[in-house]
Amino acid sequence: MTLPLRPELKGLSPYGAPQQAVAARLNVNENPYSPPPAVVDAIAAAVHQAAAGLNRYPDRDFTALRADLANYLAAESHVDFLEPHNMWAGNGSNEVMLHLHQAFGGPGRTTLTFSPTYSMYPEYARDTFTNYVSLPRMDDFRLDLDRAVAGIAEHKPTLVIVASPNNPSGTALSLDDIKTLAAACAEVPGGSVLVIDEAYAEFRRRGVPSAASLLPETPHLVVTRTMSKAFGLAGGRLGYLAASRQVVEALQIVRLPYHLSAITQAAARAALAHHSELQAQVDEIRAERDDTVDWLRAQGYTVPDTDANFAYFGPVKDRDAVFNGLLEHGVLIRVVGPEGWMRVSVGTAREMAMFRNALLEVTA
């Protein structure tokens, strides 16, 4: 049988990091701690209640969830101006990013990013027939702002996406950097939306403001977040964003009706009501991260300063061999970005001890 697969999809394999049941799964930046039993009960009770109404379609506009998300972000990022109409959500921030591309990308348009960065960005562009341009970061993985501003003027992207902290490098942008990028986007004829992907924002150092604080004066700014990382709810599939009302209204046009199931809405709301219990170990993860960075540096690796729950390290001589060697020791990490670099997610103290011991053995 000949399938009329789009020619640009021929020979491609589906994206996804390995899911292997090893002792230390340190490859997709999950929170290593399961939800505490009281939160499991609260989520189960909320889902139980929602189940009784499953004969009906869910609230298409998930108004209650949007209000909860606005309240959470207000508390977490000290921003008090967010209304439900400023919030949008999807099945993971992956879906929210796809909505952004469906609304603001498309044929003849360009998404601009800065490499190395999150491996899904080119896929959202491909799936929406949007051109994809990725400019290199500096050797230390920070953004070269002059080059970024020049790139925005040259490529006139309708979408600029910067992860902060960046995956895989962990490097974060300052508010001044974001203002500079936003100003460059404002110069693009026809408009350009600046997306700051704050998937790891909860791990940032204390006192560092979120890009969300710039929203009132920056209507073309979008700040995306997820419950998959610090929140410890990767299995719940809930990503969201904060933006101006006009941006959210545009996204409502392209979303499929009822894209957030009643089960998802109920589970996410119950989790949001218990956000502090779910994030109880974030301080611990931060401390473990800092120890991991210190240790890697002491071994002679270069590690960029990281505001996330992972560390990026190099140079590693034969990274595929190191990856396989670690796996034989029950430690799964990630080969990603330029040759010689690897990323390890921060797990529990026990998992990190396994990682350190295994790395020493494999590279001995």
Tell me how far, at minimum, the Cβ of 73 lies from ligand PLP, in Å. 15
List the strands of the sheet with 310-313, edge to edge: 310-313, 342-345, 334-335
Q: From 12-20, 45-53, 225-233, 279-287, give the range in contact with ligand PLP by CB under 6 A.
A: 225-233
Cβ atoms of 130 and 162 within 8 Å: the answer is no
Q: Which is nearer to ligand PLP, 114 or 118 (CB)?
A: 118
> Among residue numbers 171 through 210, which ones bind ligand PLP (CB under 6 A)?
197, 199
Q: Which of 167, 192, 210, 345 binds ligand PLP (CB under 6 A)?
A: 167
Residue whose CB is less far from ligand PLP, 234 or 263: 234
Cβ neighbourhood burial of 161 (10 Å; 0-12, 13-18, 19+):
buried
Q: Whose CA is closest to 47, among 244, 279, 351, 270?
A: 270
CB-nearer residue toward ligand PLP: 162 or 266? 162
What residues pair up with 314 in beta bridges, in sequence order?
302
Q: Number of C-alpha atoms within 13 angstroms, CB side, residue 195?
A: 29
Stretch that binds ligand PLP, among 90-98, 122-130, 211-219, 254-262 (CB under 6 A): 90-98
CB of 148 to ligand PLP, least distance (A): 17
**335 φ/ψ angles, rounded to the nearest 5 degrees:** -95, 115
Question: Which whole-number Å values give the CA distances from 178 to 14, 168, 174, 362, in the listed order?
Answer: 32, 19, 6, 40
Question: Is position 72 an interface residue for ligand PLP (rule: CB under 6 A)?
Answer: no
Question: Nearest approach, Cβ of 99 to ligand PLP (angstroms)?
Answer: 12
Q: Which of 92, 122, 232, 337 binds ligand PLP (CB under 6 A)?
A: 92
Stretch that binds ligand PLP, among 1-9, 49-57, 224-232, 295-303 (CB under 6 A): 224-232
Site string for ligand PLP, 98-137 (x = CB under 6 A): --------------------x-------------------
Q: Residue 89 Cβ, how far from ligand PLP at the closest point, in Å? A: 10
Amino acid at residue number 245: R
Quote the least distance from Cβ 123 to ligand PLP, whole Å: 12
Longest dimension (CA), the chain: 60
Minimum distance of ligand PLP from residue 39's CB (angstroms): 19
Torsion sign over Cα 233, 88, 198, 192:
positive
Count, in order, helices (H) and strands (E) of the chain.
12, 12
Instruction: Give the span between the Cα atoms of 290 and 293, in whole angstroms.
Output: 5
User: Which of 111, 130, 226, 264 touches ligand PLP by CB under 6 A?
Assistant: 226
- Using CB under 6 A, which of the segments 87-95, 107-115, 269-277, 292-300 binds ligand PLP? 87-95
The C-alpha atoms of residue 223 and residue 282 are separated, in whole angstroms, by 21
Reading the block at residue 355, the tokens are 């990682």
CA distances from 9 to 4, 13, 52, 99 (A): 10, 9, 41, 20
Do residues 41 and 34 lie in contact, with contact meaning Cβ atoms separated by under 8 Å? no
The one among 218, 228, 279, 345 contacting ligand PLP by CB under 6 A: 228
Dihedral through CA 248, CA 158, CA 72, CA 227, nearest 10? 110
Nearer to ligand PLP, 39 or 199 (CB): 199
The nearer residue to ligand PLP, 90 or 157, going by C-beta atoms, is: 90
Size of the site for ligand PLP (CB under 6 A): 14
Q: Does residue number 309 form part of the binding site for ligand PLP (CB under 6 A)?
A: no
- Interacting stretch for ligand PLP, rule CB under 6 A, among 92-100, 105-113, 250-258, 347-355? 92-100
Under the criterion CB under 6 A, does residue 94 sit at the interface with ligand PLP?
Answer: yes
Chain residues binding ligand PLP by CB under 6 A are: 29, 92-94, 118, 163, 167, 197, 199, 226, 228-229, 234, 239
